[in-house]
Structure 1
Protein backbone atom coordinates (compact mmCIF):
# COMPACT_ATOMS: atom_id res chain seq x y z
CA UNK A 1 0.00 0.00 0.00
CA UNK A 2 1.22 3.48 -0.86
CA UNK A 3 2.79 5.26 2.09
CA UNK A 4 1.43 8.79 2.37
CA UNK A 5 4.42 10.63 3.83
CA UNK A 6 3.51 13.76 5.79
CA UNK A 7 6.10 16.20 4.45
CA UNK A 8 8.29 17.32 1.59
CA UNK A 9 11.60 15.55 2.05
CA UNK A 10 13.48 18.61 0.83
CA UNK A 11 11.87 21.72 2.36
CA UNK A 12 9.88 19.92 5.12
CA UNK A 13 6.58 21.51 4.07
CA UNK A 14 3.52 19.71 5.41
CA UNK A 15 1.80 17.51 2.82
CA UNK A 16 -1.44 16.18 4.31
CA UNK A 17 -3.15 13.18 2.68
CA UNK A 18 -5.34 15.45 0.56
CA UNK A 19 -2.49 17.67 -0.70
CA UNK A 20 -2.88 18.20 -4.43
CA UNK A 21 0.70 19.42 -4.75
CA UNK A 22 2.44 16.32 -3.37
CA UNK A 23 4.78 14.52 -5.79
CA UNK A 24 6.27 11.03 -5.44
CA UNK A 25 8.72 8.76 -7.23
CA UNK A 26 8.21 5.03 -7.70
CA UNK A 27 9.94 4.46 -4.34
CA UNK A 28 7.52 6.86 -2.63
CA UNK A 29 10.06 9.63 -2.01
CA UNK A 30 7.80 12.63 -1.44
CA UNK A 31 8.23 16.28 -2.39
CA UNK A 32 6.05 19.34 -2.76
CA UNK A 33 5.36 20.53 -6.31
CA UNK A 34 7.55 23.63 -5.84
CA UNK A 35 10.61 21.54 -4.91
CA UNK A 36 9.82 18.89 -7.55
CA UNK A 37 9.56 21.48 -10.32
CA UNK A 38 11.90 24.30 -9.33
CA UNK A 39 14.72 22.51 -7.48
CA UNK A 40 14.60 18.88 -8.57
CA UNK A 41 13.44 19.48 -12.16
CA UNK A 42 11.39 16.25 -12.05
CA UNK A 43 14.41 14.17 -10.97
CA UNK A 44 14.18 12.17 -7.75
CA UNK A 45 17.50 12.77 -5.97
CA UNK A 46 17.48 9.22 -4.61
CA UNK A 47 16.69 7.05 -7.64
CA UNK A 48 16.84 9.44 -10.61
CA UNK A 49 13.29 8.64 -11.64
CA UNK A 50 10.52 11.08 -12.41
CA UNK A 51 8.11 12.60 -9.91
CA UNK A 52 4.35 12.24 -10.35
CA UNK A 53 1.34 13.66 -8.54
CA UNK A 54 0.60 11.61 -5.43
CA UNK A 55 -2.91 10.12 -5.44
CA UNK A 56 -5.43 11.28 -2.87
CA UNK A 57 -6.64 8.54 -0.52
CA UNK A 58 -10.34 9.02 0.28
CA UNK A 59 -11.20 9.81 3.89
CA UNK A 60 -13.86 7.14 4.17
CA UNK A 61 -14.81 3.82 2.63
CA UNK A 62 -17.30 4.50 -0.15
CA UNK A 63 -17.93 0.90 -1.19
CA UNK A 64 -19.16 -1.22 1.70
CA UNK A 65 -18.35 -0.94 5.38
CA UNK A 66 -16.91 -4.47 5.35
CA UNK A 67 -14.28 -3.37 2.82
CA UNK A 68 -11.85 -1.49 5.01
CA UNK A 69 -10.66 1.28 2.71
CA UNK A 70 -9.94 4.97 3.18
CA UNK A 71 -7.90 6.99 5.66
CA UNK A 72 -10.00 5.74 8.55
CA UNK A 73 -8.59 2.23 8.05
CA UNK A 74 -5.30 3.11 6.34
CA UNK A 75 -4.08 6.40 7.81
CA UNK A 76 -1.32 8.53 6.37
CA UNK A 77 2.17 8.14 7.77
CA UNK A 78 3.33 10.36 10.63
CA UNK A 79 7.07 9.85 10.39
CA UNK A 80 8.67 12.84 8.75
CA UNK A 81 11.43 11.97 6.29
CA UNK A 82 14.22 14.10 4.90
CA UNK A 83 16.40 13.61 1.86
CA UNK A 84 19.76 12.09 2.70
CA UNK A 85 21.34 14.10 -0.11
CA UNK A 86 22.77 17.58 0.36
CA UNK A 87 22.00 20.39 -2.08
CA UNK A 88 25.26 19.87 -3.97
CA UNK A 89 24.54 16.20 -4.60
CA UNK A 90 20.96 17.03 -5.60
CA UNK A 91 22.16 19.69 -8.04
CA UNK A 92 24.62 17.24 -9.61
CA UNK A 93 21.94 14.56 -10.09
CA UNK A 94 19.48 17.11 -11.48
CA UNK A 95 22.04 18.55 -13.91
CA UNK A 96 22.85 15.08 -15.20
CA UNK A 97 19.28 13.85 -15.68
CA UNK A 98 16.90 16.82 -16.05
CA UNK A 99 17.13 16.85 -19.85
CA UNK A 100 16.42 13.10 -20.11
CA UNK A 101 12.69 12.25 -20.02
CA UNK A 102 11.79 9.97 -17.08
CA UNK A 103 10.73 7.14 -19.42
CA UNK A 104 14.24 7.13 -20.91
CA UNK A 105 16.24 7.22 -17.68
Structure 2
Protein backbone atom coordinates (compact mmCIF):
# COMPACT_ATOMS: atom_id res chain seq x y z
CA UNK A 1 0.00 0.00 0.00
CA UNK A 2 1.28 3.46 -0.88
CA UNK A 3 2.48 5.60 2.00
CA UNK A 4 1.25 8.82 0.34
CA UNK A 5 4.34 10.77 1.40
CA UNK A 6 3.54 14.38 2.30
CA UNK A 7 6.27 16.38 0.52
CA UNK A 8 8.72 16.55 -2.38
CA UNK A 9 12.03 14.94 -1.46
CA UNK A 10 13.96 17.63 -3.32
CA UNK A 11 12.25 20.97 -2.59
CA UNK A 12 10.03 19.97 0.35
CA UNK A 13 6.89 21.31 -1.37
CA UNK A 14 3.78 19.98 0.38
CA UNK A 15 2.14 17.14 -1.56
CA UNK A 16 -1.01 16.17 0.32
CA UNK A 17 -3.16 13.22 -0.71
CA UNK A 18 -5.22 15.48 -3.01
CA UNK A 19 -2.21 16.96 -4.85
CA UNK A 20 -2.21 16.73 -8.64
CA UNK A 21 1.53 17.48 -8.62
CA UNK A 22 2.78 14.41 -6.74
CA UNK A 23 4.93 12.06 -8.81
CA UNK A 24 6.34 8.70 -7.68
CA UNK A 25 8.73 6.06 -8.97
CA UNK A 26 8.22 2.31 -8.46
CA UNK A 27 9.93 2.56 -5.05
CA UNK A 28 7.57 5.41 -4.10
CA UNK A 29 10.27 8.07 -4.09
CA UNK A 30 8.10 11.20 -4.14
CA UNK A 31 8.79 14.45 -5.98
CA UNK A 32 6.70 17.35 -7.23
CA UNK A 33 5.97 17.61 -10.95
CA UNK A 34 8.10 20.74 -11.26
CA UNK A 35 11.22 18.98 -9.89
CA UNK A 36 10.55 15.89 -12.04
CA UNK A 37 10.23 18.02 -15.20
CA UNK A 38 12.92 20.69 -14.68
CA UNK A 39 15.61 19.08 -12.50
CA UNK A 40 15.24 15.31 -12.69
CA UNK A 41 14.02 15.00 -16.30
CA UNK A 42 11.94 11.94 -15.34
CA UNK A 43 14.96 10.12 -13.84
CA UNK A 44 14.69 9.16 -10.17
CA UNK A 45 17.92 10.16 -8.40
CA UNK A 46 17.52 7.24 -5.98
CA UNK A 47 16.85 4.31 -8.33
CA UNK A 48 17.16 5.59 -11.92
CA UNK A 49 13.53 4.75 -12.69
CA UNK A 50 10.87 6.98 -14.20
CA UNK A 51 7.93 8.74 -12.55
CA UNK A 52 4.17 8.43 -12.75
CA UNK A 53 1.41 10.57 -11.25
CA UNK A 54 0.71 9.40 -7.71
CA UNK A 55 -2.86 8.18 -7.23
CA UNK A 56 -5.13 9.77 -4.65
CA UNK A 57 -6.38 7.63 -1.78
CA UNK A 58 -10.19 7.81 -1.66
CA UNK A 59 -11.89 9.75 1.12
CA UNK A 60 -15.08 7.77 0.50
CA UNK A 61 -15.19 4.83 2.96
CA UNK A 62 -17.93 2.86 1.20
CA UNK A 63 -15.48 0.01 0.52
CA UNK A 64 -13.67 0.38 3.85
CA UNK A 65 -10.40 1.19 2.08
CA UNK A 66 -10.09 4.92 2.52
CA UNK A 67 -8.00 7.76 3.84
CA UNK A 68 -9.63 7.57 7.26
CA UNK A 69 -8.65 3.90 7.71
CA UNK A 70 -5.29 4.24 5.93
CA UNK A 71 -4.12 7.84 6.46
CA UNK A 72 -1.37 9.48 4.46
CA UNK A 73 2.11 9.43 5.96
CA UNK A 74 3.31 12.37 8.04
CA UNK A 75 6.99 11.38 7.71
CA UNK A 76 8.83 13.86 5.50
CA UNK A 77 11.78 12.59 3.49
CA UNK A 78 13.77 15.71 2.63
CA UNK A 79 17.04 15.08 0.85
CA UNK A 80 17.72 17.60 -1.90
CA UNK A 81 19.34 16.16 -4.99
CA UNK A 82 23.13 16.40 -5.03
CA UNK A 83 23.50 17.64 -8.60
CA UNK A 84 27.09 16.41 -8.94
CA UNK A 85 26.21 12.86 -7.87
CA UNK A 86 23.01 12.91 -9.91
CA UNK A 87 24.82 14.00 -13.11
CA UNK A 88 26.10 10.46 -13.87
CA UNK A 89 22.68 8.88 -13.23
CA UNK A 90 20.98 11.51 -15.38
CA UNK A 91 23.49 11.17 -18.22
CA UNK A 92 23.10 7.38 -18.17
CA UNK A 93 19.29 7.22 -18.15
CA UNK A 94 17.89 10.50 -19.51
CA UNK A 95 17.56 9.30 -23.09
CA UNK A 96 16.35 5.78 -22.26
CA UNK A 97 12.63 5.17 -21.80
CA UNK A 98 11.85 4.31 -18.16
CA UNK A 99 10.59 0.80 -19.06
CA UNK A 100 13.91 0.09 -20.78
CA UNK A 101 16.26 1.27 -18.00
TM-score range, shorter chain: over 0.9
**Pairing of 1:68-83 with structure 2 (within 5 A):** 68-83=64-79
Q: Give the TM-score, by structure 1 length.
A: 0.89
Contact 2:11 / 2:80 at 8 angstroms: preserved in 1? Answer: no
Structure 1 CA distance for aligned equivalents of residues 84 and 71 of structure 2: 34
| Count of residues in correspondence between the two structures | 101
Flag structure 1 segments of 5+ consecutive residues without an equivalent. none
SS, match of residue 31 in structure 1: strand
Flag structure 2 segments of 5+ consecutive residues without an equivalent. none
Contact 2:7 / 2:14 at 8 angstroms: preserved in 1? Answer: yes
Q: Give the TM-score, by structure 2 length.
A: 0.93
For residue 95 of structure 2, what is the aligned residue in structure 1? 99
Task: Calculate the aligned-residue CA RMSD, in Å.
Answer: 1.3
Distance 1:37 1:84, change over 3 A: closer
Shift of 1:30: 0.0
Contact 2:10 / 2:80 at 8 angstroms: preserved in 1? Answer: no
